[in-house]
Structure 1
Amino acid sequence: TSLAQTAAISQTFLRFLPPGTTPPLVIIYSASTVPVIQIGLTSDTLSEQQLFDFGNYFIRTQLATVPGAATPFPYGGKQRVVSVDINPTALQAKGLSAVDIVNAVNAQNLILPTGTAKLGTLEYNVEMNGSPQSVEELNDLPVKTVNGATIYMKDVAHVRDGFSPQTNIVLSNGQRGVLMSIYKTGTASTIDIVDRVKKMLDFNKGSIPEGLRISTFFDQSLYVRASIQGVIREAIIAACLTAVMILLFLGNWKSTLIIAISIPLSILVSILCLSALGQTINIMTLGGLALAVGILVDDATVEIENINRNLAMGKETVQAILDGAQQIAVPAFVSTLCICIVFIPMFFLSGVAKFLFVPLAEAVSFAMLASYMWSRTIVPTLAMYLLSSEDEYHAEEHAGEKMGFFRRYQQGFERSFEKFREGYRRALGVALHSPKLFAACFLAFCVLSVLLVGVLGRDFFPKVDAGQIRLHMRARTGLRIEETARLADQVNGVIRETIPKDELTTVLDNIGVPYSGINLTYSNAGTIGTSDAEILVQLKEVRGKPTGAYINDLREKLPQRFPGVQFFFQPADIVTQILNFGTPAPIDVEVTGMNQRGNYLIGEKLASEFRHIPGAVDVHVQQAFDNPTLFMEIDRARAQSVGMQSRDVAQNVLVSLSSSFQTAPAFWLDPKNGVEYNVAVQEPQYRVENYQALQNTPISGSAPGSRPQILGNLVTTSTTARPAEISHYTTQPMINIYAAVDGRDLGGVSDEVEKRVQAIEKDLPKGSHIAVRGQVQTMKNSFAGLGFGLLGAIVLVYLLIVVNFQSWLDPFIIITALPGALAGICWTLLLTHTTLNVPSLTGAIMSVGVATANSILMVSFAREQMDEGKSARDAASEAGFVRIRPVLMTALAMIIGMVPMAVGLGEGGEQNAPLGRAVIGGLVFATFATLFFVPCVFSMIHGRRARRPSQPEPLSP
């Protein structure tokens, strides 16, 4: 596999790297690898070392058994190590150096197997005190013998149970602790992972030390559960509203019951099919089912209405059912296929749009096919049993006596509807009297409406309010972590001033660089050093302002309170993090090339220009080139004169400042818990508190006869600046300019960004390249795919109808309702202040199939009327008059079924709201086009053909 090949190749380069280089760790990372829950460890009695130990060696090992969960090393706390604090003064007095201490530790603190000894009749395991049983015993290790006198470890150093220099601090509501992030990997369910993690924590409660508090933060499953519950609620409301609407038209509760039964049965079949394909119940599959609720009644509604029409003609119940089912069997089948076939292009999408909307397409398609199947089987059967017992068309008095309310209501509704239908006939007659004028006006309106696309704005996905804030703070590069923590505490104060106490749940600070590079690999925070801090804020569900309003308040306050400190907000909800594909912002401008300094200057110039773009916020260059650095230039000649080489100087400095574990790792096994801890020989940080102390670092050579020196005698030190972080893209150094969007659509901001990028390309250093990536690039690819899908859906629908009608013209007449659908989509999005995005484009594709379904019923009936000898104009008028009831019933059922989704109530409702709005707008205008424009087109085309000699219309030349 690619993973194994990458790991194997990376291992071959180890021998070319400097000693002490950690072997590369290749991990699988995808866009969905995001934290789904955070675990916090705090205590009033336990130390930070104990908190880190418990999190790393107990909780983390338990979490490793949770399928689909990835748990990097803990954040914060203090890593327990056996600290050998060397005394530079004592070392100089004894003629030793830090390297001598390292050699002594490695030689006399051994964890080696000894073997067995067969003595007499028994076989003994042989053990040896190669490793001391306690940390204090390490102070008694002999280091060196000079002139017969033994120098012990305690003479030149102090061994203690300590911790490595702290580079990462975690504060939970102001209290120091440890943070553990649980990441979702692969196709695992967020809800399943969180449930298993919580179950594991509950199971191990008995093993928790006294005084330890375990808390969970930023549980993304709460948002996912609320979103799923919201979709289910929308589906239930849609089903109830649809049933009420059908009852309004039919006035017959038994007919309504027959139609309503098809909804849960169709959904059940769809769920079974999705399960067979390995899909899970998630927001998108449930969204597809909620989307289909209003459409599922289409087949059953048309059939019941046709059965009732045949009953009204005086036919017997069975005959009326057979005739009613037969008359609309083919048109209903074609209509169902038209709705399903429009989703085929979605299977050819790429990127995140494919993974999001293919499950939705599958859910709708399976439900629609199941609906047609039930309309051919269950619906006629139930009609025979339920409608035959109440022959309301032959025994009106009996029906009125049994269901007086429904009968009286139906009679009143029928009288009103007949008046409406007669009014429609007259209006249609006016349109048919001047069909060319009406058609020209309607087409002109549609063309002008479609031009509104330019003012709608473009987004990839709608923003959601998950009640979480993720703030990144970057102070002066190189700032000590203690100072960064103090600064973060002041920022927390501003946050608590801005957000009312009763609306605030948690403020979590993750300051500095995590101890393991694995954490940096998983995280998209953009941390580059100890001057960085990530502040996570969890709000309560009930709050006075939207989360975005608090973000805007903080975006205005923080730079004023803390000049010189950078603040930028990053996505906190799981959906946006996945859509950003691991980047901290939706717009990522990348400058790549070997000229790092030149590229950095280009990046700074671009960032300055981006800040003037309306709607562009949190603009910053990710890399920093001003990390304070002490450059030590070794005087090689002087070093050689005292028996030393550059390697001796570098090794001694490394041990003194970064501990011996980098190049000569040693371990001490704690017999109490069985954990091996690093043994780190290092000069204590408090001893190197000024420049002079650094210059006094003792240096010893490895060659015999070398004379001990201090660092200041061998090097010349100067202050300079270096890059704090070097990123690569396709093996070349890269500079990232990130930008977020607020108060404007992503497409509008990205267009202006690209203009400025194109303008600066001529100034790029030789060999450098620049590109705009991030969510913007994915949005463009998805839009192109969905645009192609929309055209493909229209073509597929047209070809399907051609096959059914055995004609090229009638299918053309049928799809003339589509311009009305497109116009309706544009107007609805404009009036609801909804941008053009992936969900709304998906709704547009779906509208193509739905809008065609009613048009098929209209044109097929008009053709039947012409076959009976009527003129094209009379046939069109009669088709509109007869088919207005089923057209309005099915259209209103779909529209009403979409209303709960279009409103976008509850958690995550904003995600699918554009889809519902697009379908509603498309259906409203497409229904108008079906009732007026399609009859006019039919009258014009068939009227002209009727005046010509009759000749067959071939399907192919």
Structure 2
Amino acid sequence: MYLYCVDAAVPVDGRGWLFMPMAEAIIFAMIASFILSRTLVPTMAKYMLAAQVAAHAHGPVAPKTIFGRFQKGFERKFEAFRQRYQELLKYLVATRKTFIPVFVMCSLASLGLLIFVGQDFFPEINSDAMAIHMRAPLGTRLSETGTVSQLVNDEIERTLPGQVESIVANCGLPFSSLNQAYIPTPTVGSQDCDLTVSLKDPDSPVAEYRKMIRKNLSEKFPGTQISFMPGDLTAKILNFGLPAPIDVQISGRNLADNFRFANRLAERLRHVTGLTDVSVQQPMTTPTLRVNTKRTYALGTGITEADVANNMLVSLSGSSQVGQVYWLDTKTGVSHLIDIQTPATFLQTMNDLETTPIDKGDGNPTGQAPQILGGLSKIVQTGTPGEVAHYNIMPVFDIYATNEGIDLGTVSREVSRIVDEVRPDLPRGSTLAVRGQAVTMNNAYVQLLGGLAMSILLVYLLIVVNFQSWLDPFIIITALPGALAGIAWSLFLTHTALSVPALTGAIMCMGTATANAILVVSFARERLEEHGDAIAAAIEAGFERIRPVLMTASAMIVGMLPMSISNSQNAPLGKAVMGGLLVATVATLLFVPCVFAMLHNRKKPTETTEQGEGA
């Protein structure tokens, strides 16, 4: 069990180890329980069971309390159950040549159910928060974006009547460029808004709410992009700062060709079943007015391009952008920044912009008439990049996408297939890569499954050392395929996708299943050494060890029951352990004795022949 728990700590791309606290807790708990079982438990048994031993010495005594009567009734029924189990085990051992291959085939066939359950990194849970990103048409003024966001808020409240606690809208770019670099949001301009929706019910079905909101908002606001970002803290951590679990990156210096390629690829990805909110993060067509100064004409008037730029900066952004001037209030002693700027109401048309006065900024000592912007420059309407992102220095375009209704593994495989198909059309000098949570999930799966296989091998070798046999440890681990089959059935019947918690539960289930199989095989070895009959030893081992095997499995299953029905991301762990142990217990009590009888019964004629030759 110790070796299996060591494997439960999952490395994630050098960022840390998942389930490390749980693995450490189990390891130290197992060490403590081992020490106590060899010291405290025998001591307590000596003193606390003395009266019970004395009562048995005087013969059976009728129980006087309700607990005693319950115990007697339970023992009577359990003994009847053991007798029926012994009859079944005798029949299966007698037909072991048929039962063993059928059981193995059923176990291996059950693993095929994992194809239908799907794969996720971590399961999504119900919560009380949703994060929505809204992008109005490019170039929308901040005031208009705020109006649209208010209409979106009203529509969300109508879609979820009585369920919304509050909606916080954060529109436009942050004041500091540092905040823009560190916040995990797709905001690139005044047309973007981040909406944080708080729900009244902490166990709200956010997956169903997303479908309703996405459908209604797409119908009511056709020119606005709506995408859902990770809402709860765990989902944000798993995305490692990205606003979506799938990120297709096109890197290269050729921005124009890469942008066109990114839009063609995004259009193909929008037709993938289960893939939603597909969007190119970096826009290249943000409406921009480019002022091309007529340098020859401007120099004839004594105006330079720097003068044009400074005058526009003062008029559009304020004089504080050029030179900060403060006014001291002598009454309060507080200095106030003086900022002179053309009011927005005076900049409504192209003519208003073209009539912006331009001077040299020297106080006009010669008394020349000021020039106007339209006379010195030509204003051109064009599109420019709204954001230029880099990955390892190279410019990059990100295509973000989210899976909805279908597991992440299935969707990511389809995305990878499409990416491989379009890779030959990639502009020369550019690269194409898929990143995000899907890649991290695949790496975690490989590490978990590889660690599980290594743990099984180490456990097998450890048992070989203790049993001084290669055969009996093999018999012990034959119960593990049954455990894997039980895990597959439990996930399939509960409509739970395979995930890192489920794989961790599988590792824990392997440890308990191995421990139970050791109980049966070790007792069978003792009986075999005593009378030499492998078939009788197998039947006796199952009959005598059924109680501790059932107690161990039942305690684990009951302990995992609250976790399996809880609204937590560890629910698949509990389901995997419960389903795996149910079938593993059946395999330990029925399949393992049959394998023991078959393999050891084959050794008997050989040993007899060798003894006869020696005589």
With the length of structure 1 as denominator, give the TM-score of the two structures. Answer: 0.61
Q: What secondary structure does 1:800 align onto?
A: helix
> Map of 1:624-663 to 2, 5 A cutoff?
624-663=283-322
Q: Which residue of 2 aligns with 1:551?
A: 210
Decide whether aligned partners of structure 1 residues 815 and 659 sit closer, same or farther in structure 2, where only a CA change above 3 A counts.
same
Q: Which residue of 1 aligns with 2:540?
A: 878
Q: Which residue of 2 aligns with 1:17?
A: none
**Matched AA of 1:612:** H
Residue from 567, 573, 578 that aligns with 1:920: 578
Q: Which residue of 2 aligns with 1:463?
A: 124
What is the CA distance between 1:549 and its match in structure 2?
2.1
Q: Which residue of 2 aligns with 1:493?
A: 154
Aligned partners of 2:10 and 2:20 also within 8 Å: no
What is the CA distance between 1:344 and its match in structure 2?
2.1
Aligned partners of 1:591 and 1:770 also within 8 Å: yes
Residue from 4, 27, 34 that aligns with 1:365: 27
Is 1:767 aligned to 2:429, yes or no? Answer: yes
What is the CA distance between 1:352 and its match in structure 2?
8.3
> Map of 1:373-772 to 2, 5 A cutoff?
373-391=35-53, 392-395=55-58, 400=62, 403-501=64-162, 503-541=163-201, 546-666=205-325, 678-701=337-360, 707=368, 708-772=370-434
What is the CA distance between 1:778 and its match in structure 2?
0.8
Q: What secondary structure does 1:860 align onto?
A: helix
> Map of 1:901-940 to 2, 5 A cutoff?
901-904=563-566, 909-940=567-598
What is the CA distance between 1:346 and its match in structure 2?
4.0
What is the CA distance between 1:353 and its match in structure 2?
8.7
Q: Deviations over 1:866-912 (max 9, x none)?
A: 111231111111111111111111111111111111112xxxx3301
Output the CA distance in 1 between the equivalents of 2:331 and 2:453. Answer: 70
Q: What secondary structure does 1:505 align onto?
A: strand
What is the CA distance between 1:649 and its match in structure 2?
1.7
**Matched AA of 1:461:** F
Decide whether aligned partners of structure 1 residues 828 and 474 sit closer, same or farther in structure 2, where only a CA change above 3 A counts.
same
Q: What secondary structure does 2:7 align onto?
A: helix
**Matched AA of 1:433:** A
Q: Deviations over 1:183-224 (max 9, x none)?
A: xxxxxxxxxxxxxxxxxxxxxxxxxxxxxxxxxxxxxxxxxx
What is the CA distance between 1:451 and its match in structure 2?
1.8
**Matched AA of 1:937:** V
RMSD of the alignment, in Å?
A: 2.3
Aligned partners of 1:644 and 1:706 also within 8 Å: no
Output the CA distance in 2 between the equivalents of 1:850 and 1:951. Answer: 39
Output the CA distance in 2 between the equivalents of 1:350 and 1:475. Answer: 36
Residue from 478, 486, 508 that aligns with 1:846: 508
Output the CA distance in 2 between the equivalents of 1:911 and 1:724. Answer: 37
How high is the sequence identity, in percent, across the aligned residues? 46
Q: Which residue of 2 aligns with 1:269?
A: none
Decide whether aligned partners of structure 1 residues 946 and 514 sit closer, same or farther in structure 2, where only a CA change above 3 A counts.
same
**Matched AA of 2:165:** T
Q: Which residue of 2 aligns with 1:161?
A: none
Aligned partners of 1:346 and 1:354 also within 8 Å: no
Decide whether aligned partners of structure 1 residues 397 and 791 sit closer, same or farther in structure 2, where only a CA change above 3 A counts.
closer
Q: Which residue of 1 aligns with 2:613?
A: none
Aligned partners of 1:481 and 1:531 also within 8 Å: yes
Q: Which residue of 2 aligns with 1:865?
A: 527
What is the CA distance between 1:583 and its match in structure 2?
0.8
Q: Deviations over 1:518-539 (max 9, x none)?
A: 2223321211111111122111
What is the CA distance between 1:379 and its match in structure 2?
1.9
Output the CA distance in 1 between the equivalents of 2:356 and 2:478. Answer: 86
**Matched AA of 1:947:** P
Is 1:814 aligned to 2:476, yes or no? Answer: yes
**Matched AA of 1:645:** T
What is the CA distance between 1:950 and its match in structure 2?
7.5
Decide whether aligned partners of structure 1 residues 835 and 669 sit closer, same or farther in structure 2, where only a CA change above 3 A counts.
farther
Q: Which residue of 1 aligns with 2:455?
A: 793
Aligned partners of 1:584 and 1:738 also within 8 Å: yes
Q: What secondary structure does 1:854 align onto?
A: helix
Q: Which residue of 1 aligns with 2:605?
A: 947
Which structure 2 segments of 5+ residues have no match? 611-615
Q: Deviations over 1:217-252 (max 9, x none)?
A: xxxxxxxxxxxxxxxxxxxxxxxxxxxxxxxxxxxx
Output the CA distance in 2 between the equivalents of 1:427 and 1:944. Answer: 22
Output the CA distance in 2 between the equivalents of 1:729 and 1:790. Answer: 35
With the length of structure 2 as denominator, give the TM-score of the two structures. Answer: 0.94
Decide whether aligned partners of structure 1 residues 671 and 932 sit closer, same or farther in structure 2, where only a CA change above 3 A counts.
farther
**Matched AA of 1:518:** L
> Map of 1:217-366 to 2, 5 A cutoff?
339-347=1-9, 349-351=11-13, 354-366=16-28
Output the CA distance in 1 between the equivalents of 2:547 and 2:333. Answer: 79
What is the CA distance between 1:922 and its match in structure 2?
1.1
Output the CA distance in 1 between the equivalents of 2:581 and 2:603. Answer: 30
Q: Deviations over 1:499-554 (max 9, x none)?
A: 123x22112111111211222233212111111111221111278x6232222111
Output the CA distance in 1 between the equivalents of 2:124 and 2:333. Answer: 49
What is the CA distance between 1:604 and its match in structure 2?
1.3
What is the CA distance between 1:672 and its match in structure 2?
8.7
Q: Deviations over 1:606-665 (max 9, x none)?
A: 222222111111111111122111111111111221223222222222222222333434
Q: Which residue of 2 aligns with 1:247?
A: none
Output the CA distance in 2 between the equivalents of 1:469 and 1:680. Answer: 40
What is the CA distance between 1:560 and its match in structure 2?
0.9
Output the CA distance in 2 between the equivalents of 1:662 and 1:791. Answer: 64
What is the CA distance between 1:679 and its match in structure 2?
3.9
What is the CA distance between 1:806 and its match in structure 2?
1.7
Output the CA distance in 2 between the equivalents of 1:706 and 1:642. Answer: 13
Q: What secondary structure does 2:607 align onto?
A: coil
Decide whether aligned partners of structure 1 residues 429 and 941 sit closer, same or farther in structure 2, where only a CA change above 3 A counts.
same
Output the CA distance in 2 between the equivalents of 1:696 and 1:507. Answer: 42
**Matched AA of 2:214:** R
Decide whether aligned partners of structure 1 residues 387 and 641 sit closer, same or farther in structure 2, where only a CA change above 3 A counts.
same
Aligned partners of 1:643 and 1:706 also within 8 Å: no
Output the CA distance in 2 between the equivalents of 1:484 and 1:653. Answer: 25
Aligned partners of 1:824 and 1:923 also within 8 Å: yes
What is the CA distance between 1:770 and its match in structure 2?
1.0
Output the CA distance in 2 between the equivalents of 1:484 and 1:657. Answer: 20
Output the CA distance in 1 between the equivalents of 2:485 and 2:451. Answer: 18
Aligned partners of 1:797 and 1:849 also within 8 Å: no
Output the CA distance in 2 between the equivalents of 1:483 and 1:805. Answer: 77
Which structure 1 segments of 5+ residues have no match? 1-338, 953-957
Is 1:894 aligned to 2:556, yes or no? Answer: yes
Aligned partners of 2:10 and 2:448 also within 8 Å: no
Q: Deviations over 1:304-337 (max 9, x none)?
A: xxxxxxxxxxxxxxxxxxxxxxxxxxxxxxxxxx
Output the CA distance in 2 between the equivalents of 1:779 and 1:794. Answer: 22
Q: Deviations over 1:137-167 (max 9, x none)?
A: xxxxxxxxxxxxxxxxxxxxxxxxxxxxxxx
Aligned partners of 1:347 and 1:354 also within 8 Å: no
What is the CA distance between 1:349 and its match in structure 2?
2.1
